[in-house]
Amino acid sequence: MRGIVVGLGVLMAASSYAVAAGPLAVGSAFPDWQLVDHTGKSVSSKDLAGKTYLLWFYPKAQTPGCTTEGRGLRDRIDDFRARGVEVVGVSFDAPEANAAFVKAEGFPFRLLSDKDRTLARAVGAADASDAPVARRISYLVGPDGRVRHVYATVTPATHAADVLGDIPAP
């Protein structure tokens, strides 16, 4: 299993987030969340309930590492879909910056804006509400809303293959 977990998971109250001491633990409940995607549409954990999804936090749209990571996920999207996994990116960028990133790279997945860092702080992707960028971390969340895998150390060039290696092929 990739993505060794360090720290304790925290649960989120219905209307506020707790700050994580680090990445959430495998098996813990992933906090409920609601963010705006690159089209301005509200997206929430409730929209993805019953599905497996990869939530990948990336530091900044259209930067070299984030572009490499996003392209890897894009290029393997059929493999993710065949395994029943929806890919969703999250950064602190405004929806407009994420929209430009989607357009420039032809991403077939949503990019969400966590401008106030609320979700990022709850899951260990940021330590403070003034963090300049998100920590590069990903969570594979199961249809039951529980963390299946944590990728606390991400190599952009191999991230898609690393995640797919943890998901049984159909």
Residue 73: which H helix or E strand, with range? helix 64-75
88 is catalytic: no
Tokens of 41: 């549409």
Q: Are 98 and 111 in contact (CB under 8 A)?
A: yes
Q: 4: which DSSP letter?
A: -
Q: Can you point out the beta strands (E) in the chain?
A: 34-37, 42-44, 52-57, 85-91, 110-113, 137-141, 147-151
Annotated active-site residue in 66, 87, 119, 164: 66
- 137-141 and 42-44: which strand pairing? unpaired
Residues designated as active site? 66
